[in-house]
Amino acid sequence: MKKVVKIEGIPLTEGHSGLFLKVEDGVIEEGLYYALVPVRGFETLLIGRDAKSAPIITSRICGLCQITHSIASSRAIEKACGIEVPPEAEELREVLGLAVRVYNNLLHQIIISEDLFPEKILQLDFIRKVQRVRKFIGEVLESIGGEIIHSPNVVVGGISEPLEEIVKERILSQIDEVFKELQSLYREFEKAINQMWKREGLPEDLGKHDLDFLATDKFYSGKIEIDDFSFLTPQEILPEELKTRASNLFPLYKGKPVETGPRARKVLFDGYKPKGGVKELHILRAKENLEALQRIKEILEKKRFDGELWNRESPTGDGETLGIGVHEAPRGTNVHAVKIDKRGKILYYKIVVPTEINLFAVSRALKGERASWAEFIVRAYDPCIVCASH
């Protein structure tokens, strides 16, 4: 029996999103995933504003992975204006990006904890353990970035405040202990995921798809061309009244839908052979936390960061050069593209966020699975809907 199922508001995810499913005998023939939060217009509001204000304002796109937008934005402006950044500042930005990766991946574990632990006591116990690690990561973000959420220290030209040696020593003295805690947390999470799969009777390769992967670097940032992206509008994809209601664009990379995120990074930079399915995605995301924390330790131990980290050159461009800033966000590749004129005002701004890219991957993963499992698949991709319709 054929029918159409529409779900609006998916619990245990961020923001207001919807699912359009064509179902035959309980199996999804075609699934579409889209955003329904209003477009806040970050691309248009930045036009005509001072280039220096962009990292502060773009940070407000998202409350979960704030710093990745400030980093991508300031990198884009530096490229457009030819500003050189002190190498130590780039390394501190990498530390901030990795810290927010751990912070955000752990937040996702809290969000889905109701799925993992049906009993309230176990759930609160798990959240308490996760919060202990997040507290440390919050300290790292606060002492380097200035604030935990929406860090003001990431500026065009570097980092506005140096990291004092005494603060760095404090972070390094705790990091080994936190790493052990994170390891035990990883084991607990893996066990809980396995139990959940058994409890709900989910197949091992739930949400398998054959899409290509997109990632630019394992930890920080790589190269990408904005022309490789093309965008489909909701009018071209979604049915009926959703054409006018959905509030995101659907980006294609080199004309094809792709998946980005922890699995893509693992496949493209670690030679990992993907088994497919969303269970693997959960595990790889948790594994990434361990690697990120190790990398933070590696960077902080290597150098001193208490010198000048900010090239205070005023950003001015020629109005033609397209500066592209890329950052490997927790959910995948985050791209900002900007043009700056001679007065240092923004002429053009374009943002491609990872969740936007992944919307197609979610839709593809839904195909051929049971309709009752659709929400599990969506949650596994950790969608951040406010980012997707920025």
Partner 1 sequence: MFFKDKILNDEEPKLSIGFFHLSSCSGCQVAFLDMFEAAVEILDTVKLVYSNMLTRQKEIPYLDVAFVEGALCLEDQHHLNLIRELSEKSRIIVAIGGCSSFGGVRRLSCGNQPPQPQHQSFVPITEVELLKGKVKYAIPGCPPNSSLLYNFLLALLELNDDFLQPFEIMALSKKASGFDVIAEVVNKGLCVGCGTCSAACPTRAISFKIECAKPSFNPSICVHCGSCLASCPQSFKPYPQPTYT
Stretch that binds partner 1, among 74-82, 133-141, 199-207, 277-285 (CB under 8 A): 133-141
**Judged by CB under 8 A, does residue 9 bind partner 1?**
yes
Please say which residue, 53 or 194, places its beta carbon nearer to partner 1.
53
**Judged by CB under 8 A, does residue 239 bind partner 1?**
no
Q: 350 pairs with which residues across the strands?
A: 337
Per CB under 8 A, the list member of 132, 218, 287, 295 interacting with partner 1 is: 132
Per CB under 8 A, the list member of 26, 41, 87, 239 interacting with partner 1 is: 41
CB of 131 to partner 1, least distance (A): 4
**Judged by CB under 8 A, does residue 181 bind partner 1?**
no
**Judged by CB under 8 A, does residue 233 bind partner 1?**
yes
**Judged by CB under 8 A, does residue 205 bind partner 1?**
no
Query: To which residue do tokens 């493209």 refer?
Result: 268
Stretch that binds partner 1, among 46-54, 89-97, 205-213, 319-327 (CB under 8 A): 46-54
Q: Could you tell me the CA-to-CA distances from 26 to 23, 32, 191, 207, 239 in Å, in that order? A: 6, 16, 29, 15, 20
Q: 251 pairs with which residues across the strands?
A: 231
**Judged by CB under 8 A, does residue 149 bind partner 1?**
yes
**Judged by CB under 8 A, does residue 13 bind partner 1?**
yes
245-304 residues near partner 1, rule: CB under 8 A: 246-249
| C-beta separation of 172 from 297 below 8 A | yes
Give the residue among 196, 193, 108, 98 at the shortest CA–CA distance from 382. Answer: 108
Give the burial class of 210: count Cβ atoms within 10 A of its Cβ; 0-12 exposed, 13-18 middle, 19 or more buried.
exposed
Per CB under 8 A, the list member of 86, 146, 319, 368 interacting with partner 1 is: 146
**Judged by CB under 8 A, does residue 43 bind partner 1?**
yes
| C-beta separation of 277 from 263 below 8 A | no
Q: Could you tell me the CA-to-CA distances from 228 to 186, 254, 255, 260, 265 in Å, in that order? A: 36, 5, 8, 15, 19
Q: How far, in Å, CA of 294 to CA of 12, rounded?
A: 29
Give the residue among 134, 94, 107, 334 at the shortest CA–CA distance from 219. Answer: 94
Number of residues that bind partner 1 (CB under 8 A): 59
| C-beta separation of 17 from 355 below 8 A | no
Per CB under 8 A, the list member of 29, 90, 110, 167 interacting with partner 1 is: 110
CB of 346 to partner 1, least distance (A): 12
Q: How far, in Å, CA of 280 to CA of 41, rounded?
A: 35
47-86 residues near partner 1, rule: CB under 8 A: 49-50, 52-53, 56-57, 60-64, 66
**Judged by CB under 8 A, does residue 118 bind partner 1?**
no
Stretch that binds partner 1, among 41-49, 83-91, 300-308, 326-334 (CB under 8 A): 41-49
Percent helix, strand, coil in the chain, to 5, is 50, 20, 30
Contacting residues for 375 by C-beta, under 8 A, at least 6 apart: 7, 10, 11, 12
**Judged by CB under 8 A, does residue 14 bind partner 1?**
yes
Please give the residue ranges that form the binding site for partner 1 (CB under 8 A).
Answer: 9-16, 36-45, 49-50, 52-53, 56-57, 60-64, 66, 107, 110-111, 114, 124, 127-128, 131-132, 134-135, 138, 146-150, 152, 160, 233-235, 246-249, 384, 386, 389
